Amino acid sequence: MTAPTQPPAATPEQPSATPDLLYTQDEEDLRSAVRALLADRADAPTVIAATESDTPYDPRLWEALATGIGAAGLLVPEKLGGQGASHREAAVVLEELGRSVAPAPYLTSSVVATETLLALARDGGPAAALLAELASGARTAVLAVPFATPPSGARAALTSLDGTVRGVADAAVADVLLVPTAEGLYAVEATAPGVVVEPLVPLDLTRPLATLTLSGATGTLLADADASTTAVRRGLLAGAGLLASEQLGIAEWCLTETVRYTRERHQFNRPVGSFQSLKHRMAQLWLEVVSARAAARNAADALATGSPDAPLAVAVAQAYCSGVAVHAAEECVQLHGGIGMTWEHPAHLYLKRAKADSIAYGSAGTHREAVAELAELPAP
């Protein structure tokens, strides 16, 4: 391409620093460890069988991931009981979890709840104590907001610890619920009196949803209303940003598996993957996956470095990667033909996860609205 000829006045705000979009050797080592664990404990038949049980979570998988590998504490500084890594490493864990669609409360507890508490844990106190428990993998917590809540929706919906929150992801497995109210942010024990967690029938069976009903429940107040809103926004921003890496993992699996299948599957006396109409669709997906990787790494790096560009990087990553994961999963089902429609083949798990992820923490359209504001492209 030739260099654009534009007047300097037309140059918009540029990123403050060049992001590191590659993977470090440490990140690759972490990936290998997580991938080996998931291959061992969460292959497709195991995950499918688990989704048909009362609870799809595998406690031994969680312990190995959260405590054994130390993934639960990646975002938490060492002095607060964590691994002192960053969003870049957590993003790699989520790529692998996306590739396997294993049910694990990593995004909800180790990213969103953890990041929310990080905003409040500076002066010690109950937030710091809970943070240390989450970082060690000993306990899990979820933010009691609907899974579809975007970062811009951080303002509390409940006035107090009374009321109902629908569609809370991973609530069924959480030890602690972080409940934003008009009074501030509460930590409520999931087993406390006045707390009912009622499972819903989710589209994505690998990430259970529940309705949370609070009536006269009590909890520990972690922050006042303003601090709560700021902390929750920070938690949701990290969640939305790193969800892009999970979506990348989903898309990667779908493409790899579709290429593998269409190379082997023969019709008309040749591999169906040799037909140009199919090849072009897979090549197009490859281009989308390559692009999604750049967008997801950019968001993870911006969060890790605390860049002022982070809200835009997250909005761009979500606006782009949601569609890529859904497209890859839909192509995976179609290019597998009839087998892709069966319960036995795992393609449906990826389609359901991708579609649910496209709503989680704000749809692509919601994130494009954020882009409109951040890039100064106002609505009519």
Partner 1 sequence: MSPAAAPAVDATEIRRRTRELLTAHPPATTDRTDFLKARFDAGLAWVHYPVGLGGLDAPRSLQQVVDAELAAADAPDNAPRRIGIGLGMAAPTILGFGTDEQKRRFLRPLWVGEEVWCQLFSEPGAGSDLAALATRAVRDGDDWVIDGQKVWTSSAHVARWAILIARTDPDLPKHRGISYFICDMTDPGVDVRPLRQITGEAEFNEVFLSGVRIPDSHRLGPVGDGWKVAQTTLMNERVSIGGSRIPREGGMIGPVSQTWRNRPDLRTHDTHQRLLTLWVEAEVARLTGERLRQQLVAGQPGPEGSGMKLAFARLNQQISGLEVELLGDEGLLYGDWTMVRPELVDFTGRDAGYRYLRSKGNSIEGGTSEVLLNIVAERVLGLPAEPRNDKDVAWKDLSR
- 68 class by beta-carbon count within 10 Å (0-12 exposed, 13-18 middle, 19+ buried): middle
Does 374 engage in binding with partner 1 (CB under 8 A)?
A: no
Other CB atoms within a 10 A radius of the CB of residue 269 amount to: 5
Please state the φ and ψ torsions of residue 125, each to the nearest 5 degrees: 85, -170
Q: Which is nearer to partner 1, 19 or 235 (CB)?
A: 19
With beta carbons less than 8 A apart as the criterion, state whether 101 and 350 touch: yes
Separation in Å, CA 226 to CA 141, 161, 230, 231, 233: 21, 17, 6, 9, 11
Choose the stretch contacting partner 1; rule: CB under 8 A; options: 18-26, 86-94, 201-209, 220-228. 18-26
Tokens of 69: 């590998």
What is the DSSP code string of 294-315?
HHHHHHHHHHHTT-TTHHHHHH
* Helix, strand, coil percent values for the chain (each to nearest 5): 55, 10, 30
Q: Which of 55, 215, 218, 284 binds partner 1 (CB under 8 A)?
A: 284
Does 263 engage in binding with partner 1 (CB under 8 A)?
A: yes
Does 368 engage in binding with partner 1 (CB under 8 A)?
A: yes
Tokens of 168: 């809370």
Choose the stretch contacting partner 1; rule: CB under 8 A; options: 119-127, 199-207, 221-229, 362-370. 362-370
Which H/E stretch holds residue 225?
A: helix 225-264
Does 10 engage in binding with partner 1 (CB under 8 A)?
A: yes
Tokens of 271: 């591999």
Q: Which is nearer to partner 1, 170 or 309 (CB)?
A: 309
Does 253 engage in binding with partner 1 (CB under 8 A)?
A: no
Pairing of strands 163-169, 209-214: antiparallel
Choose the stretch contacting partner 1; rule: CB under 8 A; options: 102-110, 193-201, 267-275, 348-356. 267-275
Dist CA 321 CA 358 (whole Å):
8
Other CB atoms within a 10 A radius of the CB of residue 184 amount to: 19
Q: Which of 138, 192, 259, 359 binds partner 1 (CB under 8 A)?
A: 259
Does 338 engage in binding with partner 1 (CB under 8 A)?
A: no
Choose the stretch contacting partner 1; rule: CB under 8 A; options: 52-60, 77-85, 276-284, 328-336. 276-284
Q: Which is nearer to partner 1, 66 or 319 (CB)?
A: 319
Does 11 engage in binding with partner 1 (CB under 8 A)?
A: yes
Does 227 engage in binding with partner 1 (CB under 8 A)?
A: no
Dist CA 97 CA 61 (whole Å):
12
Dist CA 75 CA 306 (whole Å):
12
- 146 class by beta-carbon count within 10 Å (0-12 exposed, 13-18 middle, 19+ buried): middle
Residues 49-78 that bind partner 1 (CB under 8 A): none
Does 31 engage in binding with partner 1 (CB under 8 A)?
A: no
Half-sphere exposure of 60 (CA within 13 A, CB side): 4
Residues 286-315 that bind partner 1 (CB under 8 A): 286-287, 290-295, 297-298
Round to the nearest angstrom and report the end-to-end CA distance of the chain.
32
Q: Which is nearer to partner 1, 293 or 345 (CB)?
A: 293
Q: Which of 16, 17, 21, 36 binds partner 1 (CB under 8 A)?
A: 21
Residues 145-204 that bind partner 1 (CB under 8 A): none
Please state the φ and ψ torsions of residue 198, each to the nearest 5 degrees: -110, 115
Dist CA 240 CA 367 (whole Å):
10
Does 1 engage in binding with partner 1 (CB under 8 A)?
A: yes
Size of the site for partner 1 (CB under 8 A): 55
Q: Which is nearer to partner 1, 21 or 182 (CB)?
A: 21
Q: How far is the CB of 240 from partner 1 (least distance, A)?
A: 14
Q: How far is the CB of 52 from partner 1 (least distance, A)?
A: 34
Q: Which of 63, 227, 271, 359 binds partner 1 (CB under 8 A)?
A: 271
Q: Which of 184, 273, 346, 362 binds partner 1 (CB under 8 A)?
A: 273
Residue ranges in contact with partner 1 by CB under 8 A: 1-6, 10-15, 18-22, 259, 262-263, 270-271, 273-276, 279-280, 282-284, 286-287, 290-295, 297-298, 316, 319-320, 365, 368-369, 371-372, 375-380
